Structure 1
Amino acid sequence: MTHQDVSGIKRTEAAMRQARDEAERASRAKSEFLSAMSHELRTPMNAILGFAQLLEADPALAPPQQENVREILKGGRHLLHLINEVLDLSQVENGHLQLSLETVPVACVVEECFDLVQPLAEEAGITLEPGDAGDHHVCADRGRLRQVLIHLLANAIQYNRPGGRVVLGYAEDTATGRLRIQVRDSGYGIPPSRQAALFQPFTRLLVNDRMEGTGIGLSLSRRLVEAMNGAIGVESVEGAGSTFWIDLPRVPAPGAGETGDASSPDGGGEKGPSGETDRPVLTVLCVDDNPANLRLVEQILARRAVRVRLLSASTPGIGLELARVHHPDLILMDIHMPHMDGFQALQRLQDCPQTAGIPVVALTAHASRGDLKRMRDAGFTDHLGKPLEVDRFLQRLDRWLQGDGSQGF
């Protein structure tokens, strides 16, 4: 009979299990910390960017003051972008990233991206050429694909030569069933020694003796593309520009009927009621535990041509009472509040006959796809992200008050 002492193996296995459990706990703690910090950082950013936008639109400001405000907005938006990227990277690393893979028309996404980066290109004197995306469709998360393309386009503009060009190209690989989207720039190129590290977190390039970017965007882009069953890479010749490419699964274009149904989610938004100036005063109730957010909403609403009567509530309890007494036309409801969150407050409104039919819009500092589904299922009319974009807020406000913004998720 042979005997073998396995106590050492048992101790090693126990140590490995303990190390794995500790790593999982640390990962969960990091994810929860970053999620909480994201909300805490976005709350003051709402005040910084919101009031700065109001100042930017003030005709009484002298040119030097307007330039100062633009610098505040530029710095604030950069900080917000960094907060978003850090949170996204953390979600990817912890497996908490939620994707909605669907058939995406490449030409439509490219058009959306070009509209967003065109002002940046004009400021830098760069020519953008979208190429011909034809009728190509890919399987991807539309929002995440747009996020990756915008980052690649912004990099191609930022690292370009004065008067340079950014050109998009498309190549179908019938053998693998994939479509390659290429972003070519006429910039300075990337040394071979630097190319391998480009997609590592916090890698930054030296351009004209300056360190550029946050060092997160390309790493995050790689994780996002791989999560969509794709690949991303770069081809570059020093002194002759770079080409960043994305490979994604190609899928057949949907039928004409499907395309037509999805072409214009806001199709009725342009139909405004006649006699706008004859409408009575509209009442909006804003429920938010942050006094700065309440003041910001008050000043934004004061800019509307049609008069709006604003009711403010710093606690959900006060908000519920004001809603029962005044029956407002619209309620803006913060989600994260102590003692009673926005979901609980919405349920109370729905349970009360006097307030059950009032449209309620959620205000939230961060909303994942799962959060948006939960809001929609709970009965919120729509949502607005913080920090608030003033012009978008006013446009959406008009739609909601006219009854055109029902279930606008």
Structure 2
Amino acid sequence: MTERNASGEYVSLVIHELRNPLIGIDAAARVLARDLGAHPAGRRAALVAEEARHLLDLLESVTDAEAAASGRLRSVLRSVDLAAVVRAAVEGAHLSEHEVRVRGVEGPVPVRADARRLRQVLGNLLANAGQYSPAGSPIDVTLSVDGRPRRATVEVRDRGPGIPAAQRRRLFRKFTRLTTADGTRGSGLGLYISKAIAEDHKGEVSYRPARGGGSAFSLRIPLRTRAAAARSR
């Protein structure tokens, strides 16, 4: 067994041992929060549930990062409507402190993709936009289609401070952590995993400084071809 494989198995074991207790803590805290309502103990229980969920999300990110590093990150490709995936990702982002404006193509945008994985990528980009930009600022999500090459692009643009030029080359490396708008730091895994998922779809995730300030991240994947559509039937 190689050192990388041994390390991956150890990480998987640790994650498994941590995940089950956290699931129990999350479930119990949610029940307490619901039953106690506005009581101070209820609010504390809700906070415990929130932190447990955060840790579970972090464990999921570590699992995906290990899979990406070892080439085991896999997507289940089917014919899906990218426009519907974008809408679902925006609805699931819960960015209540921002106005999320969805623009561009509204009709079906057929791609051959893993809808869950694409939502994961867009969820990462939307979460970053919310964390790295001031409360109350808008976030623009634009879906467009290019004829040559045949591909679809989803751009997520925020109104934050942008990313210094010195940090841009390592944006998509594992454990690259930037400071958020409120001074906290992310896990450093979201963009790394997003890049791996995009590449598994024969696409890419890229960054550019937005005109007028802020950051713009784009997910690009090929449009579904007729041959791919036939294989999906």
Query: Using the alignment, how far apart are the partners of 1:43 and 1:171 within structure 2?
Result: 41
Q: How does 1:241-390 map to 2 (within 5 A)?
A: 241-251=214-224
Q: Does 1:57 align with 2:57?
A: no
Query: Which one of 74, 85, 89 corresponds to residue 109 of structure 1?
Result: 85
Q: Does 1:33 align with 2:5?
A: no
Q: How does 1:18-167 map to 2 (within 5 A)?
A: 25-59=2-36, 62-118=38-94, 121-122=95-96, 124=97, 126-133=98-105, 134-167=107-140
SS where residue 55 of structure 1 aligns?
A: helix
Query: Using the alignment, how far apart are the partners of 1:208 and 1:177 within structure 2?
Result: 36
Query: Using the alignment, how far apart are the partners of 1:217 and 1:183 within structure 2?
Result: 15
Query: Using the alignment, how far apart are the partners of 2:205 and 2:167 within structure 1?
Result: 16
Query: Using the alignment, how far apart are the partners of 2:81 and 2:141 within structure 1?
Result: 15
Asked whether the 8 Å contact 2:144–2:154 carries over to 1, the reply is yes
Give the corresponding residue for 1:285.
none
Asked whether the 8 Å contact 2:142–2:155 carries over to 1, the reply is yes
Q: How does 1:132-211 map to 2 (within 5 A)?
A: 132-133=104-105, 134-208=107-181, 210-211=183-184
Query: Using the alignment, how far apart are the partners of 2:50 and 2:182 within structure 1?
Result: 22
The structural deviation recorded for 1:208 is 4.6
Give the corresponding residue for 1:396.
none
- Residue type at the aligned position of 2:52: G
CA RMSD of aligned residues (A): 2.2
The structural deviation recorded for 1:219 is 0.8
- Residue type at the aligned position of 1:166: I
TM-score normalised per structure 1: 0.52
SS where residue 30 of structure 2 aligns?
A: helix
May I ask how many residue pairs the two structures share in their alignment?
227
Query: Using the alignment, how far apart are the partners of 1:224 and 1:214 within structure 2?
Result: 17
Query: Using the alignment, how far apart are the partners of 2:57 and 2:125 within structure 1?
Result: 15
What 5-or-longer segments of structure 2 have no aligned partner? 227-233
What 5-or-longer segments of structure 1 have no aligned partner? 1-23, 254-409
Asked whether the 8 Å contact 1:52–1:73 carries over to 2, the reply is yes
Give the corresponding residue for 1:212.
185
Identity of aligned residues (%): 33
Higher RCO structure, 1 or 2 (CA under 8 Å, sep 6+): 2
The structural deviation recorded for 1:76 is 0.8
TM-score normalised per structure 2: 0.89
Asked whether the 8 Å contact 2:170–2:176 carries over to 1, the reply is yes
The structural deviation recorded for 1:237 is 4.8
Distance 1:177 1:62, change over 3 A: closer
Structure of greater Rg: 1
Query: Using the alignment, how far apart are the partners of 1:190 and 1:203 within structure 2?
Result: 12
Asked whether the 8 Å contact 1:190–1:238 carries over to 2, the reply is no
